[in-house]
Amino acid sequence: MPKRKVGFFHSGRKASFEQHYQAFLRGLHELVPANEVDIVVQWAGDNPGRGALRVQALDVLDKNSDMKVLVAAGGPPSSRATKEATQDKGVPVVFMSTADPVGLGLVKSLDRPGTNMTGIAGLTSELDISRLELLRELLQDRDIARIGVLNNGSRPLLEEQYQKLEEAAPGLDVQLVRRDAVNLEEIERAFAHFRTVPVDAVLVTADSMFNDFRQDVVRLADGIRAIYQWREFVTEGGLMSFGPDVMEAYTLVGNYAGRILKDERPENMPVTSPSKFDLVINLTNADRHGFHIPASLLSRAELVRS
Residue 146, classified by CB atoms within 10 Å of its CB into exposed (0-12), middle (13-18) or buried (19+), is middle
Task: Compute the CA torsion angle 171, 177, 182, 188 (nearest 10 deg).
Answer: -140
Q: Is 275 left (phi over 0), alpha (psi -120 to 50) or beta?
A: alpha
How confident is the model at residue 280, as a pLDDT? 98
State how beta strands 4-10 and 302-304 pair: unpaired
Q: What is the full DSSP assignment across 132-182? A: HHHHHHHTTT-SSEEEEEEEETT-TTHHHHHHHHHHHTGGGTEEEEEEEES
DSSP label of 187 = H
Closest CA to 202 of 148, 129, 241, 243: 148
How confident is the model at residue 49, as a pLDDT? 61
State CA 223 to chain mean position distance. 24
Which stretches of the chain drop beneath a pLDDT of 70? 1, 46-50, 122-123
Closest CA to 82 of 110, 118, 53: 53
Ordered domains of the chain (ranges, CATH): 4-122+245-276 (3.40.50.2300), 125-244+278-304 (3.40.50.2300)
User: What digits encode the pLDDT tens for the residues 236-257?
Assistant: 999 999 998 888 889 999 999 9
Amino acid making up residue 11: S
How confident is the model at residue 123, as a pLDDT? 67
Peptide bond into 198 cis (omega under 30): yes
**Percent share of the chain, pLDDT over 90:** 74
What are phi and psi for residue 167, nearest 5 degrees?
-70, -30
Cα gap 112→90, rounded to integer Å: 17
Q: Are 258 and 27 in contact (CB under 8 A)?
A: yes
